[in-house]
């Protein structure tokens, strides 16, 4: 019985570690979008990508390159979900008005730290 429990504990531990590694790995399209931003002159304010958990999904928030533009929220396939903020009103496109209250912040994925 003890060896069975030990095996189950080891299996669950390995499965949990794999899930964590998968969750930490950025989707290829997010990496590609970051690379595309790096090919441009540094934005003002600098570009940032943040990871959130929103509507039961892992999502990525990309800041815009200037004033009165939408900041976009993308899913793991880089399909646009909405613009939580930005635009001329600063309130985004209205498609995810609950983002600020419902989204769970995970981490800063990337910030453009290049010199001006």
For the chain, give the percent of residues with pLDDT over 70.
80
pLDDT above 80 for 109 = yes
For residues 33 and 78, the answer to whether their CB atoms sit within 8 Å is yes
> Is it the case that residue 92 has pLDDT exceeding 70?
yes
Number of Cβ atoms within 10 Å of the Cβ of 26: 16
Percentage of the chain lying above the pLDDT 90 cut: 76
Q: What is the pLDDT of residue 116?
A: 78
pLDDT computed for residue 17 by the predictor: 45
**Helix intervals (H) in the chain:** 2-24, 28-38, 99-102
Q: How far apart are CA 92 and CA 107, in angstroms?
A: 21
Write down the pTM of the prediction: 0.80
Predicted confidence (pLDDT) at residue 10 exceeds the cutoff of 90: no
CA atoms within a 13 Å half-sphere pointing along the CA-CB vector of 113: 4
Kindly report, residue by residue over 23-71, the tens digit of the pLDDT: 579 999 999 999 999 999 999 999 999 999 999 999 999 999 988 999 9
Per-residue pLDDT at 5 exceeds 80: no
Look at residue 16 in the predicted model and tell me its pLDDT.
46
Question: What's the pLDDT at 19?
Answer: 42
């Amino acid at each position: 019985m003890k060896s069975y429990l030990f095996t189950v504990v080891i299996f669950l531990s390995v499965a949990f570690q794999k899930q964590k590694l998968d969750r930490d790995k950025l989707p290829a399209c997010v990496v590609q979008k970051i690379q595309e931003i790096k090919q441009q002159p540094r934005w003002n304010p600098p570009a940032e990508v943040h990871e959130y958990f929103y509507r039961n999904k892992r999502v990525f928030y990309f800041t815009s390159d200037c004033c009165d533009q939408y900041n976009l929220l993308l899913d793991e396939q880089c399909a646009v979900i909405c613009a939580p903020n930005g635009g001329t009103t600063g309130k985004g496109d209205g498609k995810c008005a609950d983002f600020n209250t419902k989204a769970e912040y995970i981490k800063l994925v990337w910030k453009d730290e290049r010199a001006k």
